[in-house]
Structure 1
Amino acid sequence: MGATVEELLGIKPRTSRPEPTRAHQPAPTRHTPVDQKIAFSFLFFSDVRKDVSDEQKYNFMRDVTLFADREGFCSIYLPERHFYEFGSIYANSAVMAAYLIPQTKNIRFRTAGVSLPLHHPTEVVEWWAMNDILSGGRVDLGFGSGWNKPDFILAPDNYENRREICSERIEQVRRLWRGEELTYPGPGGEDFPIKVFPRPVQKELNVWLLVAKNHDAFIHAGRQGYNIFTMLYGNNLEAMRKPIQLYRQARKEAGHDPQAGVVSLMLHTLVHPDMDLVQREVEEPFKAYIKSALDAHVKAAVVPGETVTEEEKQKILAYAYQRYFKTSGIFGGIEHGRTIIEEAIDVGVDDIACLVDFGVDYDVVHQSLPYLKELIAPYIKRNP
């Protein structure tokens, strides 16, 4: 196997010397919430439930989006997933946005993200220019290189060089968005100069890059002037401080405003004052969510002929759940939630993308939304 399962999840097996718990870590810097600047969004990503229909899943997504639009959230992040039960109701983020845009007034529609090696740049700009018009200029695009091999039946020649292709195509998308003419090969080897229509409302496209924990990726995004979408990958919030500092420094060295770049961080979220309820509702679906992600990563990474035993998977799963629950989400009451938010601000996060569709019962999520509203209220500024 090219990497251990632990490395894929960004975790280390427990040794005889336990890792420090939150209680043993330095106390987070305290701030006055109303003075803190941070945005809140929703991310739709996992779709692991098998006990509800796809229509119910889309209805849930709609309901959360409308809540976000009413209550001062900044955006929703839409994924692109293919050919795997884990998340594939999100096969085309542009279609999903086109459904939701007419029902909203305020929130922005962002992708997290378009797997750009799978698509022609002109195709991406056409889809999202239409959505930019329909939304009155509320579109931002996040891009990733993709990783799941079966996805690349859509572009089988692009898998090996997917990162380089992604970088090249992001710049093509930005130029086409501005209205520039680019030349592409057509039938018979003939080249065609192409400008994309319809023209979007926004003159410039705000770009997010999906970034893992690799420091070089943060530096690259900073140099290019991109915003960042990232996850904790099993780390705690303090682990984000260094890569975010490197990102800001890279922006500065490349001539970009170091503070203008937005660092968006996904956090699993269930806010409720009854911690027993949170534990009860989160454990099974959260473990199922982690296992689904684990299975997908293992399939992508295992060398033919090698296997990961069920015992190994269960061992990693148990450790990952305990670690994730304590350090990688907003789980519990208002006061605890604000501690997490303050830690995120302290390490340099600009936008928390709340992941609520990781398998928790929809009724429980709906019940939790008023508490989430109360949690973020001191931090956000309402739209005029």
Structure 2
Amino acid sequence: MTQTIEQLLGIQPAAHKAKQAKADISFSFLFFSDVRKDISDAEKYAFMRDITLFADKEGFEAVYLPERHFHEFGSIYANSAIMAAHLIPQTTRIRFRTAGISLPLHHPAEVVEWWAMNDVLSQGRVDLGFGSGWNKPDFILSPENYENRRQICSEAIPIVQKLWRGETVPFAGPGGEQIPIAVYPRPLQPELKVWLLVTQNDEGFIHAGRQGYNIFTMLYGNNLDAMQKKIALYRSARQEAGLDPEQGVITLMLHTLMLGDRAQVQQAVEAPFKDYIKSSLDAHLKAAVDQNGGTPLNEAEKGKMLEYAYQRYFKTGAIFGTVEDGRDIVDQAIAAGVNEIACLVDFGVDYSVVRESLTYLKRLTSNYC
């Protein structure tokens, strides 16, 4: 095997530390990946509610809700619209966003119906993020859309926007008859704010810029230096399309845990984060052997790779450590052109520790808001 550890795991060398950045940035929460088996799903929902209420009270911008199907990893997030409907009446100001709806799995009119209801219930606090989906079992919901899922997603987003505005759109009905459809109830917001899920693909950043979409992204396969170049492509694409290049929002997801001492954070995140990396490492190693040949690594070699990857990610790919450590990463993100950080906190750390960490997170965000 000739690939480097970074290539196998999508980890770039560490970005250079940025100088103190002077720019506004907003903070949100993302729920995505809780796979703890020692607590019930009801407790997971209660934790999610508690974090949302904290965010609503303390001035965070939004909570991002995923769509996950048919796997323990994120299994409690099967329908983001239902999750939002549960949380909306318990909040007063936080925005509800999706990260994201797997649009090829759904009819565009169905998506607008669900979220128009939530827009009314929330008094206009809904924004929607979309992705094409990737997990093959998910597509039992719409098997004919799997092969062309990216094109279907690209074509469906403008249809969702039209329906949201109140326009009538024809759809194929029984027997192939074209039936004109307008969606009710009408949402309160006349125009829908759209986020597109993009990670490594430069073309995705360019496409989002041309279409006037915001972007939800993460550092998998990138560091903040590489991300800065992708954001520059996005800004240029907006400008070329006649749009204000500075108006689009770049939202970056970062795993987040801060406490008073870095060693405490290490102790809290090491086991769950190594489990997360190991599952990714095993899949990438198998794919590399299948594609390139060679001898599979033994367990000792895998262990060294796992430790290296964990230490690299801890230091350069997440908000881990003290408030000062967090400030360093946030400043780098601002310098790279990020407008919003979505803090992922449900990745296996004990809930009592996460709740303790919120005090430190609030201390961090107060430096910028």
Question: Is TM > 0.5 for Structure 1 vs Structure 2?
Answer: yes
Q: Choose the corresponding residue for 1:143, options 130, 147, 150.
A: 130
Matches within 5 A, 1:3-22: 9-11=9-11
Q: Does 1:169 align with 2:156?
A: yes
Partner of residue 83, structure 2: 96
Partner of residue 121, structure 1: 108
> Shift of residue 250 of structure 1?
0.4
The answer on whether the counterparts of 2:25 and 2:338 sit within 8 Å (CA) in structure 1 is: yes
Q: Does 1:110 align with 2:97?
A: yes
State the secondary structure of the residue aligned to 1:49.
coil
- TM-score normalised to the size of structure 2? 0.92
> Shift of residue 214 of structure 1?
1.5
The answer on whether the counterparts of 1:234 and 1:320 sit within 8 Å (CA) in structure 2 is: no
1:200, 1:310 → 2: CA distance? 56
The answer on whether the counterparts of 1:149 and 1:300 sit within 8 Å (CA) in structure 2 is: no
1:301, 1:186 → 2: CA distance? 45
Query: How many pairs does the alignment contain?
Result: 364
Equivalent residue letter for 2:235 = R
Equivalent residue letter for 1:329 = A
Q: Does 1:286 align with 2:273?
A: yes
1:72, 1:323 → 2: CA distance? 31
Partner of residue 339, structure 2: 350
- TM-score normalised to the size of structure 1? 0.89
Q: Does 1:366 align with 2:355?
A: yes
The answer on whether the counterparts of 2:26 and 2:341 sit within 8 Å (CA) in structure 1 is: yes
The answer on whether the counterparts of 1:47 and 1:357 sit within 8 Å (CA) in structure 2 is: yes
Q: Choose the corresponding residue for 1:28, options 18, 24, 38.
A: 18
Matches within 5 A, 1:322-361: 322-361=311-350
State the secondary structure of the residue aligned to 1:40.
strand
1:130, 1:218 → 2: CA distance? 30
State the secondary structure of the residue aligned to 1:317.
helix
Deviation string 1:35-71 (CA, Å, 9 cap, x unpaired) is x300000000111211111011000000000000000
Change (3 A) 1:9 1:360: same
> Shift of residue 313 of structure 1?
5.7
The answer on whether the counterparts of 1:132 and 1:138 sit within 8 Å (CA) in structure 2 is: yes
Deviation string 1:80-100 (CA, Å, 9 cap, x unpaired) is 001111111100000000000
Equivalent residue letter for 1:342 = D
The answer on whether the counterparts of 2:5 and 2:309 sit within 8 Å (CA) in structure 1 is: no
> Shift of residue 291 of structure 1?
3.4
State the secondary structure of the residue aligned to 1:267.
strand
Structure 2 residue runs without a partner (length 5+): none
The answer on whether the counterparts of 1:108 and 1:139 sit within 8 Å (CA) in structure 2 is: yes
Deviation string 1:288-318 (CA, Å, 9 cap, x unpaired) is 22334556788999979x9977747655533
1:277, 1:286 → 2: CA distance? 14
RMSD, aligned CA: 2.4
1:74, 1:108 → 2: CA distance? 6
Equivalent residue letter for 1:346 = A
Structure 1 residue runs without a partner (length 5+): 13-18
> Shift of residue 379 of structure 1?
1.1
> Shift of residue 7 of structure 1?
5.1
Q: Does 1:247 align with 2:200?
A: no
Change (3 A) 1:358 1:302: farther
Equivalent residue letter for 2:21 = H
Equivalent residue letter for 1:368 = S
State the secondary structure of the residue aligned to 1:287.
helix
The answer on whether the counterparts of 1:145 and 1:166 sit within 8 Å (CA) in structure 2 is: yes
Equivalent residue letter for 2:19 = T
> Shift of residue 212 of structure 1?
1.1
State the secondary structure of the residue aligned to 1:367.
helix
> Shift of residue 245 of structure 1?
0.6
Q: Choose the corresponding residue for 2:194, options 196, 202, 207.
A: 207
Q: Does 1:85 align with 2:85?
A: no
